[in-house]
Amino acid sequence: MKIHTGERPYTCTQCGKSFTYKLRRFSCDQCDKTFVVASALQKHLKVHAGVKPHFCSVCGKSFSQLEHLKVHERIHTGVKPYVCFDCGKSCTSSSNLIQHQRIHTGEKPYKCSHCGRRFARSDSLKAHEMVHTGEKQYKCSHCGKSFARSGNMKDHEKVHTGEKPHQCSSCEKSFNHLSNLQKHKKNHCPKVSK
């Protein structure tokens, strides 16, 4: 009935926006993430269960959520629909754009509970906190090697999968890491890198 009457009795104390119904928080019992709707929590739980039903048709990499597959496919297509208004840099996802824009704003919303140091990215904070704890929480599913950063583990796993998503536009040679492609362009295709 509130939808029909337009009644919005619940107001956010932070921004003043009003809502028809009270926002609940659904918390993951395996990590610190919370969600406004139960369906979002159910999708998230697939990450912990290791269920990855969505496969990339180009490289075969699998994902727990269809949205993550769509963002991944942009590596192959080169589509970067999110553009920074400050410098024109293009990004494959809105979350990458938000993180990039912190370069311009200087915003560092993530604070280390041990030493107070601040970070622009949550994964940078997690990796930093492992300096204090000595923990390496990300394990390669192929060989068991541990890493402090999820990005480092994902890069490492390309050794096992043979994935080479970074392709040279001049000679079409592919590389598992962007840095290797950049070295290739600099050393073997100097006209392309200029």
Q: What is the pLDDT of residues 101-129, one digit of tens each?
A: 999 999 999 999 999 999 998 888 888 88
Q: Residue 151: is its pLDDT beyond 80?
A: no
Q: Which of 158, 147, 151, 161 is closest to 181 using CA atoms?
A: 158
Distance CA 141, CA 150 (A): 12
Q: Which residues contact 190 (CB under 8 A, 6 or more apart)?
A: none
Phi, psi (5° rounding) for residue 12? Answer: -70, 130
What's the pLDDT score for residue 164? 85
Q: Residue 190: is its pLDDT beyond 80?
A: no
What's the pLDDT score for residue 88? 95
> What are the CB-based long-range contacts (under 8 Å, 24+) for 49-57?
none
What's the pLDDT score for residue 192? 46
Return the DSSP state at 35. E
**3 or 153, higher pLDDT:** 153
46-92 pLDDT per residue, tens? 888 888 889 999 988 998 889 889 999 998 999 999 999 999 999 99
For a pLDDT cut of 90, what percent of the chain falls above it? 26
**160 or 25, higher pLDDT:** 160
Give strand pairing partners of 55. Answer: 62
What is the total residue count of the chain?
Answer: 194
What's the pLDDT score for residue 193? 44
Phi, psi (5° rounding) for residue 133? Answer: -95, -20
**120 or 22, higher pLDDT:** 120
Residue 18: helix, strand or coil by DSSP? strand
175-189 pLDDT per residue, tens? 888 888 888 888 775
Mean pLDDT, residues 130-137 taken together: 79
